[in-house]
Each structure stands twice: as C-alpha cells, then as structure tokens.
Structure 1
C-alpha cells in the first residue's frame, strides 16, 4: 500500500478554532480490502470535517488537483479508546461533485462535532465495514483471504475503478500524526517480537 501525506500549512480560515489546520493525505491501495488508518488530535471542541476527493476528483485542501477514478470510499471515525463515533459511505449529490463517468456522488463530506482528544479515521473501499463499534475488532474483509473481495476496485454499478484515495481532515490541531497501515492479525505478533528485540539490544548497549 503506497501512501503520500501532503503537508498542509495554511490555517483553516473557514472554521472558528484558533490555530486549527487542515491536513491532506493521498495514497494508493494495493488490494481492494486494504484499510488506511490516520490519527489526529483535536485541541478544543470543534466541528471537524472528513472529505474525500478521489472518486469524482477535485482540488483538495492542500490545493492539489486529485484525479477522478478512485474507489467508492467509506470513512469511519473512532475515539481514543477505539469506539466508533461516526461514519459515512456516501455524501450525496449537492454535498460532493458527481463523477464525470458514473454520475454518482460517492465521495465523503462528513462534519462532526468532536471534543478535545485523539481520534482515528479509517478509509476503506465499500463495503468493507468495521466488524463492530470497536476498532480493535477490525474490518469484515481485512484478512489476506479476502483480497479481491470485490474483484478489484469496482463500485456498486460494476464500474472498474482504481486504488487511489485522497482524504482531507479539516479543523484539527497540528501536527496530525502520520497515517499507519492496518496490520493483518498475523503481523501483530511479529511487531511485538521486533519491539522486544530492540529493547534487549538497547539494554545490552547500555550495559556495555
């Protein structure tokens, strides 16, 4: 899975929180069941926006022109303990542009009032929903056996798409943490072993 974070330096002029900023991210999924997680912080009670651009294309908050043709996205939002606080799978016409080919308005334009704290946004292809309201339970099609669960990047009209995605997170306290890939369950144990090994090496170097 390729990921390109775009540093957005302009302050959010359209929203009221002092010092709040917009963050823009783009990436490309390798498999149709990939999930991207992005952590961010809200410094004070704020109306935060989650906006995708890759289904129909457009100009994101960083001023970058995003090409149309990306997959039909779902965006979900979880709080600091991993509980679901909101999601959207279609904003609808009037809130986002229609795709030039399919004429469907399937990008995300989700506004939600958030208390101060740390949050995690997920982006994934329709209809790879989260299993429960707890992020730790994962997503229905996240395991390797479900790669190609939609026969690639295909929308509900059976129109072939691609793995590109683009997401703005609006009115957040900078800097937002870097996005992290969602590891498959088998990878979590390897990560733990790697961290344990690093700890042992660090202790040995101090002893020396």
Structure 2
C-alpha cells in the first residue's frame, strides 16, 4: 500500500497519480472492484483527495478514457511527423504505431473485455465517450493530412479520413490481423483512392 501524502500535495500530481492507480486496479481486478477507498490506498492519498481530484466514480472513468486517448493521439501525430513530405508512409507509420500501442495497452484490453461479459460495469468507458473520441481523432488526422498536397476535393478527403479512422478504431477494439498487416491494408486502400497505383505493392499486407 502506498504511503498517504499530506493534504498539501500538488493537486495536478495527485490527480495524475489517482488516475494511474485507477488504471492499475482496473487492469488487475476489473472496474467493478475499483472503490474510492481502495483507490485512495493505492494512490497514497486520502479519500477526500480522491474526490477533490477526480470527482465521482463516473468522472474517474472519463478521466481514464481521456488519459488513454491522449496517448493514442500523440502516437498518431508522431507517425505523421516522421514523414512530413509523403502522405502514404505517414499514414502507414501512424496506423501501425497506433495498433501496436493498442495491442499492448492493458487498460484497453480490460475495457474490451467488458463487451464479452467480463465486467459489464466497464462498458460505459467505451460507449459514453466514443463519439467525442471519434470527433477528436478526426480533427487531429484532418489537421495533419491538410499539410500534404492531395489531388482530391476537400469533402472527399474528409470522407476518406472518416472511413480510415472508423476502420482503425474497429481494429483497435477487435483486431483481425497483426498491426503491420492491418496498417498495410488500410494504406493500400488509401493509395488506390489517391491514384498512386505505382506504390500499391509497397503496402500489400
């Protein structure tokens, strides 16, 4: 059990520590076993500090989702930044790295298990914020894609981004192939849409 800190602990530090502790407990025992009292012990703070830092249990669930989402967004941005001159390798890098991150993300696996009856209380973590997460990812990807010269109408570009983001989220939740294979398949489809047929062979799964 972590040592309980004083009431003068930095609120930002306490919040981060509490969210991290909640994720650990969720991964270990399931969301239904995460109580505010147990969380306070795990994070080394008082119960009142938990409530002050994250609010209700529902607020805590939202904070965990947003924290994990930030990691995925950073990974997507990083993939594009590695290939500032060429969109297709940028897409492939962002997709593969995101899927690799999802594959090794223990909290995400715990959340996904809810859909198979392992912990039904965890299901709201997926459903309540799915639309806002989708919207955020759309904005992030659109911002990156707009930096490349693409011979398509803006509305067509937005439609392609929507399809790609939804497809990736589907594979994050229920992977059907390796991250590299999935990234290659999706990038291959984008190459077809962009008319870059000479590069298709490089992105065959």
How does the TM-score come out when normalised to structure 1? Answer: 0.29
Between Structure 1 and Structure 2, the one with more strand by share is: 1
Between Structure 1 and Structure 2, the one with more helix by share is: 2
Higher relative contact order (CA 8 A, sep 6+): 1
Please tell me whether Structure 1 or Structure 2 has the larger radius of gyration of its CA atoms. Answer: 2
